[in-house]
Amino acid sequence: MNTLDAIKSRRSIRKYRTDADLPQADLEQILEAGMLAPSACDRRAWEFVVVRSQAVKEQIMALHPYTQMLKTAPLAVVVCGRPDLQDGIGEGFWPQDCAAVVENMLLAAVELGYGGCWCGCYPKVERAEQLRALLGATGTPVAVVALGVPDEAPKARGFFEPEKVRYL
Ligand SMILES: Cc1cc2nc3c(=O)[nH]c(=O)nc-3n(C[C@H](O)[C@H](O)[C@H](O)COP(=O)(O)O)c2cc1C
């Protein structure tokens, strides 16, 4: 699959096959795709928490109401920003760094035959703090990324909205 095909076919998946796993080798490819994202001043101000525990997934669903797809997803990767790893002109860009990470991960998942769903945390500060405490993370949770084998197939979309583009 080429990059444009992956971009065009990616959809948010909220129902996963409960009889199919996402093995560690594939997970590491997805994580590496995230880690290859561009970042301000190349500070890579992020960390990852992989959640396979059903008990922890249930706690995430309890504190973040829009993560209910974790009922069927075999795992979630929580992408956290690490502002403490930034300095100088890179400071403050960590949410953008993490957003690039999430999209890379979602596209890598498509390439490998999986699906994912981006569930936003930061800048909902209270939710991000609760999640950080739950996970024992150093950084600030920016997104919970559900991953697994899709059990639904939302249609690929395609739209080019020329009215949203200005040419100078
Ligand atoms: C910053 C951000 C936060 C999101 N948070 C959630 C969420 O909490 N729960 C959810 O089910 N989807 C969430 N989504 C997914 C969007 O709902 C989804 O991308 C959008 O509806 C477009 O659909 P598509 O991803 O299938 O193209 C989020 C997406 C982004 C970029």
> For 65-92, how does the pLDDT look when each residue is reduced to its tens digit (9 = 90+)?
999 999 999 999 999 999 999 988 889 9
| Nearest atom within ligand 1 for CA of residue 67 | 9
Residue 116 is classified by DSSP as E
Identify the residue whose tokens are 């150093």.
Answer: 138
| Distance (Å) from CA 124 to ligand 1 centroid | 15
- Residue 1: its pLDDT value, please? 86
Atom 2 in ligand 1: which residue has the minimum CA distance? 120
pTM: 0.97
Residue 138 is classified by DSSP as S
Q: In which region does residue 7 sit, left (phi positive, over 0), alpha (psi from -120 to 50) or beta (all else)?
A: alpha
- Residue 104: its pLDDT value, please? 98
Number of domains in the chain: 1
C-alpha 157/C-alpha 149 separation (Å) is 20
> For 107-144, how does the pLDDT look when each residue is reduced to its tens digit (9 = 90+)?
999 999 999 999 999 999 999 999 999 999 999 999 99
| Nearest atom within ligand 1 for CA of residue 102 | 31
- Domain housing 40: 3-164
> How would you class 112 by CB atoms within 10 Å of its CB: exposed for 0-12, middle for 13-18, buried for 19 or more?
middle
For residue 22, what is the domain's CATH number? Answer: 3.40.109.10
Q: How far is CA 103 from CA 108, 133, 162, in A?
A: 9, 25, 23
- Residue 77: its pLDDT value, please? 99
> For 20-50, how does the pLDDT look when each residue is reduced to its tens digit (9 = 90+)?
999 999 999 999 999 999 999 999 999 999 9
